[in-house]
A and B are shown apart, each in its own frame.
Chain A
Amino acid sequence: MAVSTLVYNTFIRRNSVFVSTILLGAFAFEIGFDSTIDKYWDRLNAGKQWKDIKHKYITAEE
């Protein structure tokens, strides 16, 4: 009971803080979701993307 009251008082009571919390949550979710999905995609396609095979095609450094 007290935890929910604490959460309400700090994050939900003032609408400005509530809006900020929602926006920060969206921002954090975007970062987390994008990096997770990118890592999964890279693992699924390991060895096929340019960044993986680039080192084989480097001729003499100019």
Chain B
Amino acid sequence: MRVQYRYNLSVLGFTPQVVARWVPILGLWGGALGVGALFLLEPIPRVRNVILQKIPVLGSYWNRPVDPNDSPF
């Protein structure tokens, strides 16, 4: 029987099989890096007001309004 050859696309050596295998794993690692960044940047007010307060259940933990009479500015 004659051997059938098929074309396998590749971009710079990355075939669809390699991409389909590794992209979900890289996605999971991106998530891990995101959680790590949030954990390390938690004290920054910008991060607190823009990102952390918006979390549904636990967001109220970062709602710390300062009475304007008490604020030093």
Instruction: List chain A positions with a Cβ less than 8 A from chain B.
Output: 14, 16-17, 19-20, 23-24, 26-27, 30-31, 35, 50
Contact = CB atoms under 8 A, between A and B. Distances in A.
20 contacts: A14-B25, A16-B28, A16-B29, A16-B31, A16-B32, A17-B28, A17-B32, A19-B32, A19-B36, A20-B31, A20-B32, A20-B35, A23-B35, A27-B35, A27-B38, A27-B39, A27-B42, A30-B42, A31-B58, A31-B61
Describe A's contact surface by its main secondary structure.
helix
Interface of B: 25, 28-29, 31-32, 35-36, 38-39, 42, 58, 61, 70
Contacts, number: 30
B61 A24 contact: no
